Amino acid sequence: MTIISQERREAILKKIISPDINIAGLAREEGISSSTLYTWKQRYLCSMDKGMTGNYNNSSKLASESKFLAVVETASLSESECNDYCRAKGIYPEQLKEWKKSCMQANSPLNTPTASNKEIKQYKNQIRSLEKELKYKEKALSETAALLVLRKKLSALWGGGSEEGSHL
């Protein structure tokens, strides 16, 4: 991964934002992947957009206020108008649907434990008990292995093929 200086990045960004630029050609020219250039362009356009302010790396990490604003602004729009809005803001309609779902869930009671939280707790307890049992069984197995080794050594000391040593 190469590190690009801020000055070079800004110079490239100036080229990217012009409407008649071919980003794939610019990527080849600069030796930077086109996906990186598209990301830079999207970050820049989102930071310039007044409705989508905030410190974020891409549209999936927008500030919660911006997400809420986008949900409110698109609440009364038709699907095609919503798609146009998303295209203009540089976001995906699926992201908008997820944000709307999150906004709806924000009003649900937060303090009541959900079934999934209870299940998670039960699974954690079950894991702890199984790990404890596993440690116990590993210890017993190692003791048994040590006894078998000692039995073989004892058999070897007492004459190798004696019946007493083979029945222990």
Same domain, 69 and 98: yes
Parent domain of 91: 63-108
Confidence class for position 113, pLDDT limits 50, 70, 90: low
Task: Provide, rounded to the nearest whole percent, the portion of the chain with pLDDT above 70.
Answer: 79
Alpha carbons 61 and 67: distance in angstroms, whole number = 9
- Residues 103, 121, single domain; the answer is no
Number of structural domains the chain divides into: 3
Position 121 in a domain: yes
- Specify if 4 maps to a domain: yes
- Burial-class residue 78 by CB neighbours within 10 Å (0-12, 13-18, 19+): exposed
Whether the predicted pLDDT of 62 surpasses 50: yes
58 in a structural domain: no
Residues 124 and 163 in one domain: yes
pTM over 0.75: no
